[in-house]
Amino acid sequence: MNVEAQKRAAATRAVEFVRPGMRLGLGTGSTAKHFVELVGERVRAGLDIIAVPTSEATRADAERYGIPLTTLDETPELDVTVDGADEIGPGLTLIKGGGGALLREKIVAAASGRMIVIADESKAVETLGRFPLPIEIAPFGYGATEKAIHSAIAGLQSPGPLPLRRTKDGHAFVTDGGHWIIDAALGRIDDPAALARALAAVPGVMEHGLFVGIAQMAIVAGPDGVRIVER
Ligand SMILES: O=C(CO)[C@H](O)[C@H](O)COP(=O)(O)O
């Protein structure tokens, strides 16, 4: 199985957890996209669900596939969110936000009774941090916020470079919420819970991509098949 087939296999297994009448959170990214497409197939075959997308990109996909959508204002509690991840560490701690949707992804996951992560085997790691940690910030006060993020990280571990995410044409990448993203190159994160608390305390940080104690299950697909990890 190549990587794309692994993503598809994880998404296919996740669809088995979807029941009629469920309120779903739909994740963002290339793996979640498979799940959205598969849910769309089942909706067209008669499955009755409603869903909240975690990004405008996923909203567009879901609309294209005919999935009935709602909002967290109309439906503040969801049954299950299925989403991808950039890294899955011990205890189902995650790094998310490679696609820039971390704020909505965390809000939707936190509003869900259960979060199921779907991924190919390359995402499973022993220690988080090789993937740069996305930190979503308010554009206002960028310089001061970056300095405060540096200090917050330095209180716990060696802070690496804190580059601002940019588009190909050099402009700051802007999230669906109108914010910017710093991709913190940390190398390794020894204490994800402590780092999550420290970053959440920085004014100007809208959200960070560490998901600690949020996911209950990961469906990880490798070349030889799919395995399920539960917390
Ligand atoms: O957090 C995310 C988007 O903000 C994605 O879930 C994460 O980047 C994984 O994406 P992919 O499935 O394309 O590897």
8-67 pLDDT tens trace: 999 999 999 999 999 999 999 999 999 999 999 999 999 999 999 999 999 999 999 999
Residue 33 located in a structural domain = yes
111 and 217 both lie in a single domain: yes
pLDDT tens across 136-183, in order?
Answer: 999 999 999 999 999 999 999 999 999 999 999 999 999 999 999 999
Residue 228 located in a structural domain = no
100 and 172 both lie in a single domain: no
Where residue 1 falls among pLDDT bands split at 50, 70, 90? confident
Q: Which domain holds residue 12?
A: 3-124+213-223
51 and 9 both lie in a single domain: yes
168 and 190 both lie in a single domain: yes
CATH number at residue 98: 3.40.50.1360
139 and 185 both lie in a single domain: yes
16 and 113 both lie in a single domain: yes
Q: Strands 133-137, 205-208: parallel, antiparallel or unpaired by DSSP?
A: antiparallel
Quick check: 89 and 128 in contact, CB under 8 A?
yes
140 and 49 both lie in a single domain: no
- For ligand 1, the distance from its centroid to the CA atom of residue 105, given in whole angstroms, is 10
Residue 74 located in a structural domain = yes
- How many angstroms separate the CA atoms of 8 and 137, rounded? 32
ipTM above 0.90, yes or no: yes
Q: What percent of the chain has pLDDT over 90?
A: 100
Residue 88 located in a structural domain = yes
CATH number at residue 179: 3.30.70.260
15 and 100 both lie in a single domain: yes
22 and 48 both lie in a single domain: yes
Q: What tokens does 5 get?
A: 């087939």
Residue 79 located in a structural domain = yes
**Does 225 carry a binding-site annotation?**
no
- Give yes or no for residue 99 CB within 6 A of ligand 1: yes
Strand partners, 180: 137
What is the per-residue pLDDT for 11?
98
Residue 91 located in a structural domain = yes
Where residue 201 falls among pLDDT bands split at 50, 70, 90? very high
At 21 the three-state DSSP class reads coil
Quick check: 179 and 206 in contact, CB under 8 A?
yes
Q: Check pLDDT > 90 for residue 218.
A: yes
Q: What tokens does 105 get?
A: 């992804």
- For ligand 1, the distance from its centroid to the CA atom of residue 173, given in whole angstroms, is 16
- How many angstroms separate the CA atoms of 138 and 123, rounded? 28
Residue 229 located in a structural domain = no
- For ligand 1, the distance from its centroid to the CA atom of residue 136, given in whole angstroms, is 15
List all residues 6 or more positions away from 132 whose beta carbon is below 8 Å from its beta carbon: 183, 184, 185, 186
Q: What tokens does 78 get?
A: 């969801």
Number of domain units in the chain: 2
Backbone angles phi, psi at 206, to 5 degrees: -80, -40
Q: Check pLDDT > 90 for residue 94.
A: yes
Residue 61 located in a structural domain = yes
Best mutation site among 3, 8, 30, 120 for ligand 1 pocket (most ligand atoms within 8 Å of CB): 30
66 and 153 both lie in a single domain: no
Residues assigned a catalytic role: 105
Q: Looking at ligand 1, which residue's alpha carbon is closest to its atom 3? A: 99
11 and 98 both lie in a single domain: yes
Q: Check pLDDT > 90 for residue 82.
A: yes
187 and 101 both lie in a single domain: no
CA–centroid distance for 162 within its chain: 20
Buried b (16+ CB within 10 A) or exposed e, 145-172: bbebbbebbeebbebbebeebeeeeeee
